[in-house]
A and B are shown apart, each in its own frame.
Chain A
Amino acid sequence: MGMKIKPVIEPDLSISIGKMRLKNPVMTASGTFGYGQEFEHFMDLHQLGAVIPKGISLAPMPGNRPPRIFETNGGILNSIGLQNPGLEVFIKERLPYLKSLKTNLIINFFGNTLQEYSELAQRLNALEGISGLEMNISCPNVKCGGIVFGSDPKMTYRLVSRIKKLTSLPLIVKLTPNVTDIKVIARSAEEGGADAVSLVNTFRAMAINIHTRKPELGNVTGGLSGPAIKPIALRMVWEVFQVIKIPVIGIGGIVKAEDAIEFILAGASAVQIGTANLIHPKTGLEVIEGIRKYLLQYRFPHLQNLIGLLGK
Chain B
Amino acid sequence: MVRTSEDYDPLLRRPFSIYRNYSTSYPMKDKRGHLTILYKKVGKGTQKMITFQKRQKVNLIGPLGNGFFIPPLPSPSPIILIGGGVGIASLSSLGKIFRHEQIYVFIGGKTKNDILCEHDFPKRNVFIATEDGSQGHRGTVVELFCSRLRRFDRNLPHHIYVCGPEGMIKRLSRMNFPQKWTVHVSLEARMGCGFGACWGCVVKTKDPQMAYHRVCKDGPVFSLREILWE
Residues of A within 8 A of B (CB): 31-34, 38-39, 42, 54, 60, 62-63, 65-71, 73-76, 78, 80, 83, 85, 218, 226-227, 255, 275, 277-281
User: For residue A78, which residues in chain B have a CB less than 8 angstroms away from its CB?
Assistant: 192, 198, 200
Chain B 21-42, CB-CB to A under 8 Å as 1, else 0, gives 0000000000000000000000
On whether the beta carbons of B230 and A65 are closer than 8 Å, the reply is yes
User: For residue B190, which residues in chain A have a CB less than 8 angstroms away from its CB?
Assistant: 66-71
On whether the beta carbons of A62 and B201 are closer than 8 Å, the reply is no
Please name 8 pairs of A and B residues whose Cβ atoms are closer than 8 Å in the assembled complex, sorted by A. Answer: A38-B193, A54-B199, A65-B204, A69-B12, A255-B8, A279-B193, A281-B61, A281-B195
User: For residue B3, which residues in chain A have a CB less than 8 angstroms away from its CB?
Assistant: 279-280
Of all chain B residues, the one with the shortest Cβ separation from A34 is B197
Chain B 201-229, CB-CB to A under 8 Å as 1, else 0, gives 11110000011100001000000000000
On whether the beta carbons of B12 and A279 are closer than 8 Å, the reply is yes
Number of B residues whose C-beta is below 8 Å from A?
28
Known contacts: A62-B210, A62-B212, A63-B202. The answer to whether A76 contacts B12 by CB under 8 A is yes
On whether the beta carbons of A227 and B202 are closer than 8 Å, the reply is no
Among A65, A78, A278, A280, the most chain B Cβ lie within 10 Å of the Cβ of A278
Q: How far is the CB of A251 from chain B (nearest CB, A)?
A: 16
Does B196 interact with chain A (Cβ within 8 Å)? yes
Q: How far is the CA of A66 from the CA of B166 in the complex (A)?
A: 13
Of all chain B residues, the one with the shortest Cβ separation from A275 is B11
On whether the beta carbons of A76 and B11 are closer than 8 Å, the reply is yes
On whether the beta carbons of A227 and B8 are closer than 8 Å, the reply is yes
User: For residue B204, which residues in chain A have a CB less than 8 angstroms away from its CB?
Assistant: 65-66
Other-chain contact of B12, A42, A54, A71 (Cβ < 8 Å): A71
Known contacts: A85-B210, A226-B11. The answer to whether A278 contacts B198 by CB under 8 A is yes
Known contacts: A76-B12, A226-B11, A278-B193. The answer to whether A69 contacts B212 by CB under 8 A is no
Does B9 interact with chain A (Cβ within 8 Å)? yes
On whether the beta carbons of A227 and B192 are closer than 8 Å, the reply is no
User: For residue A60, which residues in chain B have a CB less than 8 angstroms away from its CB?
Assistant: 210
Of all chain A residues, the one with the shortest Cβ separation from B193 is A278
User: For residue B201, which residues in chain A have a CB less than 8 angstroms away from its CB?
Assistant: 66, 68-69
Known contacts: A78-B200, A277-B197. The answer to whether A62 contacts B211 by CB under 8 A is yes
Other-chain contact of A32, B11, B191, B197, B212 (Cβ < 8 Å): B197
Q: How far is the CB of A50 from chain B (nearest CB, A)?
A: 17
Does B13 interact with chain A (Cβ within 8 Å)? yes
